[in-house]
């Protein structure tokens, strides 16, 4: 063959073979999630792709252990969802996902199958634990480099109560020793999700991306380091999940991309007039229940319609992904009253299947103990989960107030646990004075340190698992009625410019320092005396303003007396209970004081007194 003909033929072959590749382009800009795990079998796993006109694409998946089911189309032609089954015996590796358009391969994505850590052990919460609630943005700024992140709408502004302040995961890691020094045993962190909102994004529960940690908090690697660090320090870690709402800016769920995924509010919410969730009312109809849910929204978020299977499956899958990534010992589900009961049942069933030892805390905001108990019983058939005890928190809001009659306060204290017949395991209730939904404990106590000491004594000696809001130990104040951020001030010492440093106990004013010493002594006393949470409990109203609790075990008896009167009171301990009349003296561990005449024990006004009978 003529040499020139060979050259022409070669060029023609090159053009025929290479032209499709030259025209190929990267058309996928986002894939979520990007990974899964071996030994974690999952049916109908959803892999969401966003790119150029993907609804017109042909997708091919070829990997041993992955079965491609179907494509799910959305209202946005640029977003599609792949449904695949992950086999239990799948091997770690990279799963090729080939994207074809117009008969040509445009791009190959690689979905990672990581080796699962099957040796991880969950440390279950129990009555001996003491929780510490941290809002990450308000605790400590450990990395100033992540204060300003490109493409985030809200920038750090420490002077704005509702703004981003810069607290991050590294700040918590840096102060692990402080958490240990207080005596707490478990740490509950606020949500981690990306919340790229224009304002009020510091709590990170208005989710713009479910599979991204908010970069202002740090990286996923930072979070994994925190989890490992806590494990090494024998601190349990609780991760908070927000499953009921989503940002209107969420890249997947905005603009009704998925039909009926959220309750679209077309008008201002109607006044409901209900003080409880209609889902626990056996006589409510479904339309009324849905109407109550639909009208619970903000200007920047929508509530999920968890009756839609795709939504329910997406949220459950995402929860599992986070658990595998961060390895919490327990998870907390916020605002359970705004979640569908059937959805939470399905979630709990799946978590039980995959993580039998993982605990779940239900944050169900109701003042009715019967409603709270009913809700938990419907979800938690094995009675190993936990609920936030809002009825007790509501009682503590003003029970020691100087404006309450002593007779009213004693009745309220008595009734706070008198309704424990509602609960299967009241010792697993998480009790608290304040949290993200309330004003600060010191504000509720009218900034009166005597009231605060009474509240702290109740919190750390009553049945259940006590939970302390960050900074309460230093009397942080704030009225939530003046704004959400007002009640969530920065922890003192968490920022370089702070003159007062709670982590190092520097420049602390007298009252916060005194209360800090008191609450730490109570935490240690509780830890050293399991009788407070495992012993038999009896209680009674001794007289107006005097409430007495008796804790007994085989070898010990402790009496806790609350004097909510404004005058000195005299108590005859031997006359309180039949079991006390064999004792001759008592010791007060908080004041290191001995009582030798149990018939004439004098109690200061507005005081809680702990006595070990001898």
Domain at 574, CATH number: 2.60.40.1180
> Residue 10 domain-assigned?
no
312/205 same-domain check: yes
487/608 same-domain check: no
Q: Tell me the C-alpha distance between 552 and 546, whole Å.
A: 20
449/495 same-domain check: yes
> Residue 511 domain-assigned?
yes
Please tell me the predicted confidence (pLDDT) of residue 463.
96
The residue segments making up the domain with residue 72 are 19-114
Q: Tell me the C-alpha distance between 330 and 343, whole Å.
A: 19
153/104 same-domain check: no
- Rounded to the nearest 5 degrees, what angle is found at the Cα of 286, between the Cα atoms of 281 and 289? 60
- Output the DSSP codes for 446-510: TT-HHHHHHHHHHHHHSSSEEEEETTGGGT----GGG-GGGGSPPPTTSSTT-SSBTTTTBS--H
Q: Tell me the C-alpha distance between 53 and 78, whole Å.
A: 5
Residue 469, judged by CB atoms within 10 A of its CB (0-12, 13-18, 19+), counts as buried
Among 298, 322, 307, residue whose Cα is nearest residue 239: 322
Give me the number of domains the chain comprises.
3
- Output the DSSP codes for 316-381: HHHHHHHHHHH--SEEEES-GGGS-HHHHHHHHHHHHHH-TT-EEEE----S-HHHHHHHHHHH-T
Strands 131-134 and 465-469, by their bridges, are parallel
490/568 same-domain check: no
Query: Which pairs count as long-range contacts for 3-7, CB under 8 Å and 24+ apart, including other chains?
Result: none
> Residue 120 domain-assigned?
no
540/525 same-domain check: no
Residues of the chain below pLDDT 50: 1-22, 266-273
3-state secondary structure of 442: helix
525/570 same-domain check: no
- In the block, tokens 């071996």 appear at 38
515/542 same-domain check: no
Please tell me the predicted confidence (pLDDT) of residue 382.
66
pTM of the shown model: 0.93
85/174 same-domain check: no
Among 73, 55, 82, residue whose Cα is nearest residue 317: 82
478/579 same-domain check: no
Q: 93 forms bridges with which residues in the sheet?
A: 113
> Residue 6 domain-assigned?
no
Q: Tell me the C-alpha distance between 16 and 575, whole Å.
A: 102
Domain at 186, CATH number: 3.20.20.80
Please tell me the predicted confidence (pLDDT) of residue 9.
39
385/481 same-domain check: yes
328/385 same-domain check: yes
Using the 3D structure, point to which of 474, 503, 532 is the last residue of a domain: 532
Strands 193-194 and 465-469, by their bridges, are unpaired
């Amino acid at each position: 063959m003529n040499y020139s003909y060979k050259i022409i033929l070669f060029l023609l072959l090159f053009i025929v073979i290479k032209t499709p590749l030259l025209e190929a382009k990267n058309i996928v800009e986002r894939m979520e999630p990007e990974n899964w795990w071996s030994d974690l079998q999952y049916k109908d796993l959803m892999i969401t792709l966003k790119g150029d006109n993907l609804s017109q694409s042909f997708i091919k998946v070829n990997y041993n252990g992955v079965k491609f089911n179907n494509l799910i189309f959305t209202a946005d032609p640029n977003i599609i969802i792949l449904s695949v089954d992950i086999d239990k015996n799948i091997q770690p590796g990279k799963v090729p996902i080939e994207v074809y358009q117009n008969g040509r391969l445009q791009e190959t994505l690689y979905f990672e199958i990581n080796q699962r850590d099957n040796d991880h052990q969950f440390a279950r919460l129990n009555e001996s634990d003491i929780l510490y609630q941290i809002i990450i943005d308000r605790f400590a700024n450990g990395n100033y480099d992540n204060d300003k992140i490109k493409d985030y709408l809200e920038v750090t502004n420490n002077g704005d109560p509702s703004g981003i302040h810069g607290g991050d995961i590294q700040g918590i890691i840096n102060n692990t020793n402080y958490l240990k020094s207080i005596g707490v045993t478990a740490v509950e962190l606020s949500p981690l999700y990306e919340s790229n909102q224009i304002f009020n994004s510091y709590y990170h529960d208005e989710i713009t991306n479910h599979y991204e940690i908010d970069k202002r908090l740090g990286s996923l690697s930072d979070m994994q380091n925190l989890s490992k660090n806590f494990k090494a320090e024998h601190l349990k870690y609780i991760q908070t999940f927000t499953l009921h709402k989503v940002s209107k800016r969420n890249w997947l769920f905005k603009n009704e991309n998925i039909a009926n995924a959220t309750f679209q509010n077309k008008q201002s919410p109607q006044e409901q007039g209900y003080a409880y969730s209609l889902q626990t009312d056996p006589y409510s109809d479904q339309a009324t229940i849905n109407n109550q849910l639909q009208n619970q929204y903000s200007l920047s978020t929508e509530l999920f319609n968890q009756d839609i299977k795709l939504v329910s499956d997406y949220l459950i899958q995402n929860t599992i992904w986070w658990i595998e990534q961060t390895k919490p010992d327990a998870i907390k589900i916020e605002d359970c009253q705004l979640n569908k009961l059937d959805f939470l049942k399905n979630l709990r069933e799946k978590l039980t299947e995959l993580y039998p030892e993982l605990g779940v805390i239900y944050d169900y905001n109701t003042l009715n103990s019967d409603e709270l108990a009913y809700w938990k019983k419907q979800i938690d058939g094995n009675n190993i989960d936990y609920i936030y005890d809002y009825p007790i928190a509501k009682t503590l809001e003003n029970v020691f107030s100087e404006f309450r009659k002593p007779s009213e306060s004693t009745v309220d204290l008595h009734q706070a646990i008198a309704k424990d017949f509602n609960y299967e395991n009241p010792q697993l209730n998480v009790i608290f004075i304040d949290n993200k939904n309330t004003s600060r404990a010191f504000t509720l106590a009218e900034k009166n340190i005597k009231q605060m000491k009474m509240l702290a004594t109740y919190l750390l000696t009553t049945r259940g698992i006590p939970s302390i809001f960050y900074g309460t130990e230093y009397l942080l104040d704030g009225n939530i009625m003046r704004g959400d951020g007002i009640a969530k001030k920065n922890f003192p010492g968490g920022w370089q410019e702070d003159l007062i440093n709670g982590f190092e106990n520097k420049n602390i004013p007298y009252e916060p320092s005194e209360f800090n010493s008191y609450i730490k002594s109570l935490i240690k006393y509780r830890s050293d005396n399991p009788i407070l949470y495992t012993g038999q409990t009896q209680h009674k109203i001794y007289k107006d303003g005097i409430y007495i609790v008796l804790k007994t075990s085989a070898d010990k008896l402790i009496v806790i007396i609350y004097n909510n009167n404004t005058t000195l009171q005299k108590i005859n301990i031997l006359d309180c209970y039949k079991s006390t009349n064999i004792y001759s003296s008592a010791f007060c561990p908080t004041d290191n004081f001995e009582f030798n005449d149990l018939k004439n024990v004098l109690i200061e006004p507005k005081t809680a007194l702990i006595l070990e009978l001898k």
